[in-house]
Structure 1
Amino acid sequence: MRNFAILKLIKPYIALTFVITLGACNLSQGHFLGLGGNVSPTQNVVAIESALNATEVQVARQVVPTITGTGYATISAQPAHNINQKRLMAIRVARLDAMRDLTEQVHGLSLGGQTTVVDAILQNDTTRASVQGTIRGARTLRINPVGSDTYEVVLELDRDMIGHILQSARQ
């Protein structure tokens, strides 16, 4: 898998080397990319520049991944008077849980822990986790009932937002 990723990265450079070599070999003869022998050197230079520009665009373009977040909530645990309200509240809670999952992936998770040991015996072990951040552009992919008492909500973070986050992180 890693070799494939490396090949994917160097492929535009291999193509660029091929185009430059082909152009240098055939430029004096007026043959470049199948243009024939009656082509002026200026036309060959234009053809080379356009091939280089096309290759540069491929190198500069990056694949932006999709980030998905999944959340779950039980219907019976919701504090409502009827089953329909409980279902709606479970969907809302599952959506918020999916947003929390997205926020953890984008902004990270802050962990804190405390352990108390008395006379070489563990007395108390506490771990706390918190996440804080802003998520924009998330869209709902699906809302599924899971079993008879649970809802699952899957959200996807907008590719433009991910690109913006990556650009901000690089600066």
Structure 2
Amino acid sequence: MMKWLAVMLLVAVSGCSTSNNGLNSNLTHSNELVSAVGYASISEQNGRTQEEKSLRAMRASKLDAYRELSEQIYGLRISATTSLSNQQLGPETTDGAVDGIIRGAKVIRSYPVGDNYVTEMELNLGLMERMKQHGEVFHVPNNQQVMF
């Protein structure tokens, strides 16, 4: 009886470990997972053959899913302007941008639906935090301003 109790206590105590960042090392909480879906039109892609267009749409839908993950984690920067001239509303513009580093995301499924390619991705936030400690981030210059 005493041995059984000691074994049960040992099992209970060994299951209570946490990682350095305070997140449980195994995936037990659904709020540690972030999901995203990316879409891309196949017919709108540049390419000589249907296979090339499909491949480009597959890659574009994956990038769209990464963008969606970035929006969920880092937020979306909105810039809006409105002009007023002679008490009349003039042109209005609204731009959105997202910037972030995503590490450890997994493609769950990637498949065509009609003329679109769909990519479903999932990210474990605890894994991403642990991966941040193992690599440097370098700024990649971009001369194009990307707005959604």
Tell me if both proteins adopt one fold, taking TM over 0.5 as the criterion: yes
Answering whether residue 54 of structure 2 is matched by residue 95 of structure 1, we say no
Larger RCO of the pair (alpha carbons < 8 Å, separation 6+): 2
The letter for the 2-side match of 1:133 is: G
Q: Distance in 1 between matches of 2:46 and 2:17?
A: 54
Unaligned stretches of 5+ residues in structure 2 = 132-148
The letter for the 2-side match of 1:67 is: V
Unaligned stretches of 5+ residues in structure 1 = 1-33, 36-45, 166-171
Q: Give 1:110-125 correspondences, 5 Å limit.
A: 110-125=77-92
Task: Please list every run of at least 4 consecutive aligned residues from structure 1 whose deviation after the TM superposition is greater than 6 angstroms.
Answer: 58-61
Q: Distance in 2 between matches of 1:146 and 1:69?
A: 17
CA drift of 1:118 comes to 2.1
Answering whether residue 51 of structure 2 is matched by residue 84 of structure 1, we say yes
- The residue matched to 1:57 in structure 2 has which SS? coil
Aligned residues of 2:35 and 2:122 also touching (Cα < 8 A): yes
| Residue of structure 2 equivalent to 1:39 | none
The letter for the 2-side match of 1:121 is: Q
The letter for the 2-side match of 1:82 is: T
User: Which TM-score applies when normalising by structure 2?
Assistant: 0.67
Question: Which residue of 134, 137, 140 corresponds with 2:107?
Answer: 140
**Count of residues in correspondence between the two structures:** 120
* Greater strand fraction, Structure 1 or Structure 2: 2
Answering whether residue 65 of structure 2 is matched by residue 108 of structure 1, we say no
Q: Give the RMSD, CA atoms, in angstroms.
A: 3.1
Mark the CA change 1:65 to 1:102 in structure 2 (over 3 Å): closer, same or farther: same
* Greater helix fraction, Structure 1 or Structure 2: 1
Q: Distance in 1 between matches of 2:23 and 2:108?
A: 26
Query: For residues 23-48 of structure 1, what are the alpha-carbon distances to aligned partners after superposition, in whole Å with 9 as ceiling and x for unaligned?
Result: xxxxxxxxxxx86xxxxxxxxxx97x
User: Which TM-score applies when normalising by structure 1?
Assistant: 0.58
| Residue of structure 1 equivalent to 2:146 | none
> Which one has a bigger Cα radius of gyration?
1
The letter for the 2-side match of 1:155 is: M
